[in-house]
Chain A
Amino acid sequence: MNEQSIVIMDAVNLNYHSPEGETPALEDISLSVSKGEFISIVGPSGCGKTTILSLIAGLIRPTSGRILIEGKEVDGPSSKTGYMLQQDHLFEWRTIQQNVLLGLEIQGKITKENKRRAIHLLETYGLADFRDHYPWQLSGGMRQRVALIRTLAINPDLLLLDEPFSALDYQTRLALSDEVAGIIRKEEKTALLVTHDISEAISMSDRILVLSKRPGSVKSEYSIHLTGENRSPVELRKAPEFRNYFNKIWKELDVHVS
């Protein structure tokens, strides 16, 4: 836990309460994320992955333990973090541009400067022609890209991505994960990605955390070093080390089809 850490979770526990009872979702989670790092979280369904992101985003409070972003305790949503959900949730009554400006609007930061930045992002990532279109006129991949730009428009340092590709078909998913990895690197963001897809995690990340089943705790951690010409996730899947990581994590996850 050095001062370079953008996120620190220190011995975090979280229990959900409902009339049916108490659900321990996370148990003694500690992790630290350095600036510029790309971390993936994998783990069995229901082990608390989304809960981790919700905690860091300040949407819920931990039962015990501390969560710090840039050294400050999280006490609510902050414009330093951008959260991208599994579904794009573009608002069908808004045009693409209006959708992208949503975050700035909510935070009362619609300035000429910020607006120009957001529109520039649309242009850079090939959506300029669709500014005045409505979401239903775009393909699934394009919509998810718009959702990412909506997240980037508030200029967060930290991106929280909750299975952002899982609603897409395989081809689109590969292409988009490549593109998103590129965007995140280019914009120099720190990212925390939750995914079910081991290959996706290995090809995109610097580090992978494997969670145990509920209540989730960090079971193991892998630093990923793949050798390849460039850093494109699609290319990195061909790296010689890829298989090795895959097998280890696969075993770790202990997936049973029963």
Chain B
Amino acid sequence: MFTFILRRLGLLIPTFFGITLLTFGLIRMIPGDPVEVMMGERSLDPQMHAEALHRLGLDKPLYAQYFDYLSNLARGDLGQSLVTRENVWAEFTTLFPATLELALCAMLFASVVGLLAGVLAAIKRGSLFDHGVMGISLTGFSMPIFWWGLVLIMFFSVSLGWTPVSGRLDLMFDIPPDTGFMLIDAWRAEAADPEYNAGAFKDALMHLILPSIVLGTIPLAVIARMTRSSMLEVMQEDYVRTARAKGLSPARVIFVHTLRNALIPVLTVMGLQVGVLMGGAVLTETIFSWPGIGKWLIDAIGRRDYPVVQNGILIVATLVILTNFIVDILYGIANPRIRHAK
């Protein structure tokens, strides 16, 4: 198990370098530099332009800029936003809880519904329910997020008026961001002052529902399909026949002897969804004006805010990689054959 972890860790280093190179290169490929974008349509004095670039260190050759970037990284310095002058890490930590809250709720929704639908479809293989689940998940998998978000808003927010259109909380509330998780903060604020903050928690929850569904749709489809096929495969295993020959109840056979083993590939797929989730968060946050990392990065790209884009993406990518790493380890724990491997 120890060498297993070491080997996985070793793979992280080249991945990490690859990401720095990619983000560094890609943002510079977009035409326009930060100074130009800041000045907008106004004509820019070439002299001032050059001076501004020099101040930002953007007049150096690319390799020197990249080297600076890496050496700053090595010192743990993620730089400042060119626009707000705020520390990138500080901006990230302020905004990240909003994204994490959304991603967690989306994943919770996707896992609970996906696992349940997958298991039931496998048990009732060939039934109407099975075909329904498979059909819907195929649709869900190829759903364009932007369009899907707008459809849900049109229907539930605009036509039915059940859920709010955008944001994390109604403007009439003023909740201190203690944890950054709106559900928790609203809950605590409401508990502290039930009268003044009446209904804050419910409002926060209502704001979360649609974005979670939109963001969770693709992972849901993937998890449901994977769970179903993995269950069907394990149900054919000899040891499941042994379990039935032991006279165990169908529930025990399914949940103890089948699901446990069927979950192993599903777990991996769930881990891979973290990347999908981060990509989806960018779109979802834009549709719902959700003040999180996705919206932050989109804005930063629009402003050619190089440090924010480079390091923001680096942080997100590192998080995705770390999650996948943790999933790998969990995979090892769930599967004794790997756990005991030398």
A is bound by B:
no
